[in-house]
């Protein structure tokens, strides 16, 4: 299994495999054809409430990660999460996000979860 996390604004890499956008909103200023996004499962993105809470600086990254994992454990997310796990079993997957620090983001939390 191979899951990478990259910024969506970086040029596509031949080793990316399946390119999956994991942001709820389309990245500002990025043309869809330039992004080369293969999948965009909005159900796997953090809720608007959680995203706003974290960006307001009200909590730590660890608390954000815990809350996001709890959201991903909800029954409504089971099918999209299993679909994403199937992608990982089939080959390399690159999770794409517009955040400035992908290693301290929801994408990193999701990557760890998919690699379990």
| pLDDT tens by residue, 52-88 | 999 898 889 999 999 999 999 999 999 999 999 999 9
The neighbour count for residue 39, using CB atoms within 10 Å, is 17
DSSP reduced 3-state for 111: helix
Residue whose token pair is 């389309």? 26
- Residue 58 has what pLDDT? 80
Its pTM stands at 0.93
Query: Degrees (nearest 5) of the Cα angle 62, 64, 1?
Result: 75
Q: What is the model's pLDDT at position 57?
A: 85
């Amino acid at each position: 299994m191979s899951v990478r996390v990259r910024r969506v604004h970086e040029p596509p890499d031949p080793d990316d495999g399946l390119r999956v956008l994991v942001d709820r909103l389309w990245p500002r200023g990025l043309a869809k054809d330039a992004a080369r996004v293969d999948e965009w499962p909005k159900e796997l993105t953090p809720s608007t409430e959680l995203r706003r809470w974290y960006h307001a600086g009200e909590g730590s990254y660890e608390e954000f990660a815990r809350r996001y994992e709890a959201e991903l454990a909800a029954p409504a997310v089971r099918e999209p999460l299993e679909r994403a796990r199937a992608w990982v079993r089939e080959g390399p997957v690159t999770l794409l996000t517009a955040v400035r620090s992908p290693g301290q983001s929801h994408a990193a939390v999701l990557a760890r979860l998919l690699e379990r």
